[in-house]
Amino acid sequence: MIPMPSSAALQVVILAAGQGKRMRSGLPKVLHPIAGRPLINHVIDTARLLAPTRLCVVIGHGGDQVRAALADVDVAWATQDRQLGTGHAVMQALPYLDEAGTVLILYGDVPLIASGTLRSLVDAASAGHVALLTQSLEQPKGYGRIVRNGAGRVVRIVEEKDASEAQRGIREVNTGIMALPRASLARWLGQLKNENAQGEYYLTDVIAAAVADGVAVEVRHPAAAHESLGVNSKSELATLERHYQMNRANQLMQQGVTLADPARIDVRGDLNCGRDVAIDVNCIFEGTVTLGDGVKVGANCILRDVSIGAGTEIKPFTLIEEGVIGANARIGPYARIRPGTQLADDVHVGNFVEVKASSFGRGSKANHLAYVGDTTVGSGVNIGAGTITCNYDGANKHRTVIEDDVHIGSDVQLIAPVTVGKGATIGAGATISKDVPPGGLTLTEKKQVTKPDWKRPRK
């Protein structure tokens, strides 16, 4: 047989029909998240890197939920109505596969398998061989054991419940991931029997069938032990989350990012960093986040779908969502930047300031205790402590415009819709409900009164 390029006629089957009883959850196991995305999405994304011609997902328990969660994913769906074992599950996928090429079997609850490991496995199977992913464990309990002959060749896999005492001493175990020739797969599956401790049709039994047909069984190993770990409990889910995050942290540090503690960062999406970026502990990055050169992110910040310009400092306990922040800005601590906000270069947004659907021009500041919503703020504006834009009338949102070089004193209310003209100053405590002309000082004056004979109430 002439070997074919491994990427040609490669087909992938992902088994995702298990109930996951030990998860103790109404959510199908493969929909539990790693790094903010369902387990199965990680598997599908990795499979896509191999450019398969077909990708089939076998669902069972909670199948409707799985299909709904992956409605925008282009895969073929096969259903295993009764859970009769992994061999039976693969049988359900056969009608959705072409008759030739290599079939790669993956699992929807094994999210960290690397594309390089799978490429090595597929290459080993490209000449019509069977390729098996195995690894050696100090504590192999619970895994199927790899049984080899005197020449060291794999002859079969025995599940632990069916293994003898001697076989249970074998440390080389089956990960479940394998690549097989499609032309022989249907025949081998047809030979499966459920005469075992679990009464199931084991996919692993196709190895003995392949050996009986004289087909060579090649063995490959994962580059890292955690790649082939599956999820059967919330504890295992948490363990894989940490493996994923440590992998991501190591990638960031290799790119030159300084992490105060690589064990205390969560990346739940795409984090793109320039040079000399520094990230303190307990920060969460979701969606697509871009940090420019020299950005510093303080402890306990959450950034979601944002772009941060070079030299900007995000101080501790700041939440930024769906916004764009320019260069050399200072945000926080304890600031909240809500969706639709654009802050230009050199902007300062300080502690306990909330900004929503607003833009700030270059060099403008709201240093503390303010709310700015649905507002266009010009350049060089100073917004005093306690200032709020009253943008909602109970039914509709209205816009405020603050032009360049405006100075707003403390405890000012701007009742939208309203415009504050260029260079204007608004005195402390003012309630502004009409447009303010450019320049000059605008006050809403109230007479100060002292009552010397007033007595404080007493109990």
Report pLDDT digits (tens) over 79-123. 999 989 999 999 999 999 999 999 999 999 999 999 999 999 999
CA 43 to chain centre: 13
Instruction: Please check the confidence at residue 18 and state whether its pLDDT lies above 90.
Output: no
Reference 123, options 14, 5, 221; nearest CA is 5
Helix (H, G, I), strand (E, B) or coil at 220: strand
Q: What is the average per-residue pLDDT within 165-192?
A: 94
Per DSSP, helices labelled H in 213-310 are: 234-254
Residue, of 183 and 456, whose pLDDT is higher: 183
- Residues 153 and 161 sit within 8 Å (Cβ to Cβ): no
**In this predicted structure, what is the pLDDT of residue 136?**
93
Q: Looking at residue 231, what is its pLDDT? A: 94
pLDDT at residue 85 in the model: 93
Which residue, 91, 95, 116, is CA-closest to 105? 91
Mean pLDDT rounded to a whole number for the chain: 94
Contact 134, 174 (CB under 8 A): yes
pLDDT for 155: 94
Assign 452 a pLDDT band (cuts: 50, 70, 90): confident
Report the pLDDT averaged over residues 163-189.
Answer: 94
Neighbours of 446 (CB within 10 A): 8
What are the residue boundaries of the structural domains of the chain, listed by start? 10-228, 234-442
404 contacts 422 by C-beta, under 8 angstroms? yes
Encoding tokens for residue 98?
């072409």
Phi, psi of 162 (to 5 degrees): -105, 0
406-432 average pLDDT score? 97
Closest C-alpha to 329, from 306, 312, 343, 341: 312
CATH code that applies to domain 10-228: 3.90.550.10
Distance CA 47, CA 68 (A): 20
What is the separation, in whole angstroms, between the first and last Cα of the chain? 100
Give the CA angle between residues 145, 123, 115 to the nearest 5°.
Answer: 80
3-state SS class at 93: helix
* High-pLDDT (> 90) share of the chain, %: 89
Q: What is the C-alpha separation between 177 and 427, in angstroms, rounded?
A: 71
What does residue 213 show for φ and ψ, rounded to 5 degrees?
-85, 0
DSSP annotation of 49: T
Give the mean pLDDT of 128-140: 93
pLDDT of residue 52: 96
Contact 297, 314 (CB under 8 A): yes
Nearest of 124, 226, 112, 240 to residue 178 by alpha carbon: 124
pTM flag (> 0.75) = yes
Is the Cβ–Cβ distance between 217 and 127 less than 8 Å? no
Average pLDDT of the residues in 59-63: 93
Smallest CA-to-CA distance from 330 within 317, 345, 313 is with 313
Q: Say yes or no: domain 234-442 is CATH 3.40.190.10.
A: no
Q: Tens digits of per-residue pLDDT, 369-407? A: 999 999 999 999 999 999 999 999 989 999 999 999 999
Q: 306 falls in which pLDDT band (50, 70, 90)?
A: very high
Residue numbers annotated as active site: 368
75: tokens are 């895969």
